[in-house]
Structure 1
Amino acid sequence: MNFDIKEIATATMILFAIIDIIGSIPIIIGLREKVGHIQSEKASIVAAALMVMFLFIGKEILNLIGIDVNSFAVAGAFIIFFIALEMILGIQLYKDDAPKTASVVPLAFPLVAGAGTMTSLLSLRAEYEVENIIVAIIINILFVYLVLKASGKIGKILGKQGISIIRKIFGVILLAMAVKLFTTNIQGLF
């Protein structure tokens, strides 16, 4: 086992910024108001399972279609870059239909374990040890669970302005991480 606190902390921060559960609080509150109950435990477990499964078989899927991890990491850096721009500028580049129910489908996938998260996992796998990424996933899923459970209270405490500030701070961090991911992996392509 190659546990590294620095790798765990960095992977945790990247996943935290990508998952953006704090920025999703308005969506979660809206779902809670429409449906009444959010399945926090089920959504968290399914999201964790999807993320860990993709971490292990994602590379094999890429190999099957002839794409190396460095290429995928560079592509992931672009996606992370655009997600960061969305967070910083307050714009929406990717449009998606609003979920109709507060079941596992809109919460676990795509809200928590969406395309950005999956891309980030494979990009992280190109740089970090798998066990450190799994610890980062567990830390994030625990945080997701706590946020889902306390979404009503958190929304009242932070307010719209507080949530906006947090999104922008994590957007800048994510932007810097996207640049680092790009520069590290682009060299492996040449």
Structure 2
Amino acid sequence: MFNIKDTLSVTLILFSVIDILGSIPIIINLRKKAGHIQSGKATIAAGLLMILFLLFGKSILSLFGIGVEDFAIAGALIIFALGAEMILGIEIFKPDPDATNSASIVPLAFPLIAGAGTLTTILSLKAEYSQANILLGIVINLIIVFVVLKSTNWLERKLGKTGVDVLRRIFGIILLSIAIKLFKSNLFG
């Protein structure tokens, strides 16, 4: 059953897990490597992943014999690699010259927007909220994601090179911390 308070709760929970505002330095960094990020394509891909996980998440994972914890650990490793890139200035995710649009899907749509944290959160929310409220919360977050993705050029101009570099390193450390927390909580349970 649809409930505004529940939808607002789901929206805020997903907003904090997706952390699109905190991902701005990562998005700017990906755009520099890939040349261009397709905001619409990334948003739609992330949205499809989230909705598929809402509807079929546990079934999909169990089909492959994968638990939610295993999925979260895999996502943690990718997030760790992104954080290491940002802090150390190394290149782990090398742009594929034959697939200039691939950065819009990996690592942007997955695991950055619709990563292990987001997808496992969606599975957890099903225990407490109705599917309609979760779906609306996902859609609201996708609108926010799209607006932020479209605004990264403007934000980069406002922050300047030094501002972006400082933010990239700070959020790199935060990403490493999130990855370690995800890894520990899902490994040791």
TM range (shorter): 0.5 to 0.7
Asked if 1:187 corresponds to 2:184, the answer is: no
The sequence identity of aligned pairs, in percent, is 37
Q: TM-score, normalised by structure 2?
A: 0.67
Residue 84 of structure 1 aligns to which amino acid in structure 2? G
Cα offset, 1:63, TM superposition: 0.4
Cα offset, 1:57, TM superposition: 2.8
Cα offset, 1:98, TM superposition: 4.7
For the structure 1 residues 100 and 88, does the alpha-carbon distance in structure 2 shift closer, same or farther, using more than 3 Å as the test? Answer: same
SS in 2 for 1:91: coil
The 10-residue stretch of structure 1 (71-80 or 117-126) with the greater mean CA deviation from structure 2: 117-126
For the structure 1 residues 49 and 148, does the alpha-carbon distance in structure 2 shift closer, same or farther, using more than 3 Å as the test? Answer: same
Q: 2:108 aligns with which of 112, 129, 135?
A: 112
Please give the root-mean-square deviation of Cα atoms over the aligned residues, in Å: 3.8
Is there any run of 5+ residues in structure 2 with no aligned partner, and where?
none
CA–CA distance in structure 1, aligned partners of residues 164 and 102 of structure 2: 20
Corresponding residue for residue 25 of structure 1: 28
Residue 19 of structure 2 aligns to which amino acid in structure 1? F
Asked if 1:121 corresponds to 2:114, the answer is: no
SS in 2 for 1:150: helix
CA contact (8 A) 2:7 2:136 kept: no
Is there any run of 5+ residues in structure 1 with no aligned partner, and where?
33-37
Q: Deviations over 1:116-165 (max 9, x none)?
A: 54433344456x42469767755653333223433432221112222222
CA–CA distance in structure 1, aligned partners of residues 21 and 88 of structure 2: 15
Question: What does 1:69-84 align with in structure 2 at a 5 Å threshold?
Answer: 69-84=68-83
For the structure 1 residues 145 and 99, does the alpha-carbon distance in structure 2 shift closer, same or farther, using more than 3 Å as the test? Answer: farther
Cα offset, 1:22, TM superposition: 3.8
Residue 184 of structure 1 aligns to which amino acid in structure 2? S
Q: Report how many aligned residue pairs link the two structures.
A: 179
Corresponding residue for residue 12 of structure 1: 15
